[in-house]
Every structure is written in structure tokens, then in C-alpha cells.
């Protein structure tokens, strides 16, 4: 038996950098350093663990949709231990929204061939957390998302989803789309050997025509939503800061009373 896992990973602007918008109100990806979204490292980690715990022949492909630099994200995932990578890159993709991204991912996943898709819980720039559900809808396969624990056995994926009201045990037959949270287990650091090996692993590049997608279906013009304005939030006005000299708690109580919280 073989198990083909596709891990979707996103290249995102560094959250600790000065993230901002470009003139066309898309996320500026040129002026800020990018990296593999930390939340997608958890997806790569779970793919590696499923592979390590499996008697099957497991092949892990990492897939990204993004600009030239997004190759860095693929390299990182390969150095963690994934087997090969696919980079979907096309100038017409600039400004694509979540619905469009899910189209490109679904087409690429189908073309690559898959039994299991593993995504992160959300991208650290957009933070919508909707792409995995959208990909499942497009592929017409079960969505087993937001798992803090996941296992695969005999063509079945099982996992635990910790929701607001309850913690649920989920189960679905493969093929399926899974997403994992940052509670699923610490992601490994690439080893020196892993980094060297990654340099020799294959990275395929596909553009929209490889996926039979028309330019109008994606990009800023193909988006089903439009950002009309983006304004930097005014800095909060400097507050009062006191040093505790024995009365700090009482002073704070006085402030809260003044604001009618007590």
C-alpha cells in the first residue's frame, strides 16, 4: 500500500516585521521578510509522524501557491523531511482571495495525486482559517479539520477536535482533507543532514495553464471580495504608568473605579 500526502504550506510576511499593505491594498510581500508560516510547520510535522508510524510506503509532497520567494517555504519543509515540492507560481495570481486560493490548491492537489491533504489551522497573515474547508468542498472529500491529535490507519483518519463547547472525536475514510492546530505537537527543527538533503529534492513549478485555470478566475480581478480601504490603526494614546511602591493595587482599583468597572 502506498499513502500520498500533500501538505499545503504558505509563505507569509514575518509577523514580527512591519507588515503593511501595498498601493493596490494587497498584502505587501516585497518589503517584509517572509517565511514558512509557523502554523504550517505543524502540518509538515504531522505528515512526517504519520509517515514514521506507518508500514505503508508514504510519500510527502509540499505544495505552495505564492510568489518566487515562496520557494523558501518549500525548502524549509523539505529540510524538515518532506520528499518533494510543488510551487504554483503565476503573475496572474497576485491578489487572489481565499476562494481563489482554494481553487488553485484543489486543482494542484488533484494533478499531484493524493490520499490525504494536511493543512495548517490558519495562515499567520490572513488568519481566516477557511482554506482547508474550501479545499475539501472543492475536492468533494471529507473535511477533518482543526485537529489537535491525528492518526491514520487502514485508510481511515481519526482525530480530536477541541471546539468551543466540546471536544470531539472525528473519523473519516481517505481521501480526506485534514488541518492541524498548534496543539498537535511541536514541529521539529531541520537537521544539518536534512538541510543538505533538501537541496537535492525535486521542486516542480506549475503555472495557471498547467492547472487549466483561466486568469480571470483568480487574482485581484477574479476576487469575489474587494478591499476598499486600509488604514493604520492610530497608536493608542499613552496611558498612565505607575511604579508599585506598596500601593499599586489600590491605585489600580482607583483607576478602575474611575472608569466605572467597580
Ligand X SMILES: Nc1ncnc2c1ncn2[C@@H]1O[C@H](COP(=O)(O)O)[C@@H](O)[C@H]1O
Residues 22-61 contacting ligand X, CB under 6 A: 37, 39-40, 43
Helix, strand, or coil (residue 11): strand
Q: How many CB atoms lie within 10 A of CB 261?
A: 8
Tell whether residue 255 is a contact of other proteins (CB under 8 A). Answer: yes
The binder of ligand FAD chosen from 6, 36, 39, 106 (CB under 6 A): 39
Site string for other proteins, 20-59 (x = CB under 8 A): xx---x-------------x--------------------
According to DSSP, the β-strands at 34-36 and 143-153 are unpaired
- Using alpha carbons only, give the angle 159, 165, 167 rounded to the nearest 5 degrees: 20
Tell whether residue 129 is a contact of ligand X (CB under 6 A). Answer: yes
Q: How many CB atoms lie within 10 A of CB 231?
A: 6
Helix, strand, or coil (residue 203): strand
Task: Tell me the residue number closest to ligand FAD, measured at CB.
Answer: 38
Extract the C-alpha cell encoding 125: 497573515
The binder of other proteins chosen from 30, 154, 216, 240 (CB under 8 A): 240
Tell whether residue 221 is a contact of ligand FAD (CB under 6 A). Answer: no
Between helix 71-80 and helix 38-52 the angle, nearest 10°, is 30
The binder of ligand FAD chosen from 38, 68, 91, 214 (CB under 6 A): 38
CA 197 to CA 205: how far, in whole Å? 19
**Contact status, residue 93 vs residue 211, Cβ threshold 8 Å:** no
Tell whether residue 79 is a contact of ligand X (CB under 6 A). Answer: no
Q: Which is nearer to ligand X, 94 or 251 (CB)?
A: 94
Within positions 116 to 145, which residues make up the interface with other proteins, using CB under 8 A? 121-122, 124-125, 127-130, 133-134, 136-138, 140-145
Tell whether residue 154 is a contact of other proteins (CB under 8 A). Answer: no
Helix, strand, or coil (residue 208): helix
Tell whether residue 81 is a contact of ligand X (CB under 6 A). Answer: no
CA 41 to chain centre: 8
Q: Give residues in contact with ligand X (CB under 6 A).
A: 8-10, 37, 39-40, 43, 63-66, 98, 101, 105, 119-120, 122-123, 126-132
Q: Give residues in contact with ligand FAD (CB under 6 A).
A: 38-39, 124
Amino acid at each position: 500500500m502506498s499513502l500520498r500526502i500533500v501538505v499545503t504550506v504558505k509563505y507569509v510576511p514575518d509577523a514580527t516585521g512591519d507588515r503593511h499593505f501595498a498601493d493596490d491594498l494587497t498584502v505587501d510581500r516585497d518589503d517584509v521578510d517572509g517565511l514558512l508560516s509557523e502554523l504550517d510547520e505543524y502540518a509538515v510535522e504531522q505528515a512526517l509522524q504519520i509517515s514514521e508510524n506507518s508500514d505503508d510506503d508514504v510519500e510527502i509532497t509540499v505544495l505552495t501557491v505564492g510568489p518566487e520567494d515562496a520557494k523558501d517555504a518549500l525548502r524549509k519543509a523539505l529540510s524538515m523531511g518532506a520528499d518533494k515540492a510543488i510551487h504554483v507560481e503565476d503573475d496572474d495570481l497576485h491578489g487572489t482571495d481565499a476562494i481563489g486560493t482554494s481553487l488553485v490548491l484543489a486543482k494542484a492537489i488533484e494533478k499531484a495525486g493524493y490520499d490525504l491533504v494536511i493543512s495548517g489551522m490558519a495562515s499567520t497573515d490572513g488568519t481566516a482559517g477557511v482554506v482547508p474547508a474550501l479545499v475539501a468542498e472543492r475536492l468533494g472529500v471529507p473535511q477533518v479539520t482543526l485537529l489537535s491529535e491525528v492518526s491514520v490507519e487502514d485508510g481511515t483518519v481519526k482525530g480530536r477536535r477541541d471546539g468551543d463547547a466540546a471536544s470531539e472525536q472525528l473519523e473519516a475514510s481517505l481521501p480526506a482533507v485534514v488541518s492541524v492546530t498548534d496543539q498537535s505537537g511541536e514541529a521539529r527543527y531541520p537537521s544539518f543532514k536534512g538541510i543538505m538533503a533538501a537541496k537535492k529534492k525535486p521542486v516542480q513549478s506549475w503555472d495557471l495553464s498547467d492547472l487549466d485555470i483561466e486568469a480571470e478566475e483568480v487574482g485581484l480581478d477574479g476576487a469575489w471580495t474587494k478591499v476598499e480601504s486600509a488604514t493604520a490603526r492610530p497608536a493608542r494614546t499613552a496611558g498612565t504608568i505607575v511604579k508599585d511602591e506598596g500601593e499599586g493595587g489600590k491605585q489600580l482599583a482607583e483607576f478602575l473605579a474611575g472608569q466605572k468597572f467597580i
